[in-house]
Copies of this chain bind each other. A is one copy, B any other.
């Protein structure tokens, strides 16, 4: 059995097996299930960092610098790049690619781009399987780099232990627009390109948004995590110049400080409950979706064309047909499809 053979190689540190298992999990729900069964028990050691921000804020440059820092600390890191404009995904200027080459060839670094999955669907589920596999492989850190703030297919904040939101001066309007989303899904703000005009102003703007948000945050967490004795956390705002490396050690200290917070009483448990609740949702949604897709596919279910014709001719309405099809979805799921 191919997966078992790959898992054996994987367990002795074979990077090609790592890469192959990731591909299998990405491309097939059933393979993902088998792989999770084998590898999930080995997980739980990696610390997951999420790096989000609009295109052009320098996510990849920052990721690159953090990767270097982690490796210099003698630890191992996996990177999952979801942003299609990321240099990790091949969307880079040549200069970036060359600079990143060092990391690509380092045995303690593994970079995986998922940028082209967007249209294939199942992104949320697949990303979580890649995390499982990287975690099981023994990476100390996993960095997820994505555009997503709030609206992304991949809920980074719901998955990562620490989520960094990158901004650059001059994006003030966008911040206003995304305010609610950003506030709720950030553990740490990073103002990149700190040498630009307006960097200090931007820090102040974020700080005052955080002032306003504090009260809301408290009442919200009381409601949602009533069972959890969760400590409050005010996201720090760190200025950096990722390209030159300015502020990176200070940023790392902030990340470690948040890690300490997360690993303190209650917070990790709360994050884990949330993370795996999301993962269950992704798995269940994809499982049902696969079956729904089959029922709606004329190749698998030729009578669907008649059903839709009944709608176009107004002999039936979409809900009544959906009701009937829903029963068939349930039947085929019961029959172990």
Contact = CB atoms under 8 A, between A and B. Distances in A.
A330 interface: yes
A319 B284 contact: no
Contacts of A132: 318
A48 to B, nearest CB: 14
Given A281-B296, A285-B289, A288-B288, 19 more contacts: A32-B319, A36-B319, A37-B317, A41-B314, A41-B317, A128-B318, A269-B312, A273-B308, A273-B312, A277-B308, A279-B318, A280-B318, A280-B321, A280-B322, A280-B325, A281-B293, A283-B322, A284-B292, A284-B322
Contact of A334 (B277, B309, B311, B330): B330
Contacts of A128: 318
Interface of A: 32-33, 36-37, 40-41, 43-44, 118, 128, 132, 151, 269, 272-273, 276-277, 279-281, 283-285, 287-289, 292-293, 295-296, 304-305, 307-309, 311-312, 314, 317-322, 325-326, 329-330, 333-334
A296 B276 CA distance: 10
Given A281-B292, A292-B281, A305-B273, A322 B287 contact: yes
Contact of A272 (B41, B304, B312): B312
A268 to B, nearest CB: 9
Most buried by B among A36, A132, A283, A284: A284
- The number of times this chain is found in the oligomer is 2
A197 to B, nearest CB: 24
Contacts of A320: 37
Contacts of A118: 151
B281 A304 contact: no
29 contacts: A32-B319, A37-B319, A37-B320, A40-B317, A40-B319, A44-B314, A132-B318, A272-B312, A273-B305, A273-B312, A276-B308, A276-B311, A276-B312, A277-B296, A279-B318, A280-B307, A280-B308, A280-B325, A281-B292, A281-B293, A283-B318, A284-B295, A284-B296, A284-B322, A284-B325, A285-B288, A285-B289, A287-B326, A326-B333
A96 B262 CA distance: 47
A269 B309 CA distance: 9
Contacts of A333: 326, 330
Contacts of A292: 281, 284-285, 288
A300 to B, nearest CB: 13
A36 B329 CA distance: 22
Given A292-B288, A312-B273, A36 B280 contact: no
Contacts of A307: 280
A270 to B, nearest CB: 11
Nearest to A55: B177
A280 B44 CA distance: 40
Contacts of A280: 296, 307-308, 318, 321-322, 325
Nearest to A310: B276
A321 to B, nearest CB: 6
A322 B272 CA distance: 16
Most buried by B among A32, A276, A295, A304: A276
A33 B329 contact: no
Contacts of A308: 272-273, 276-277, 280
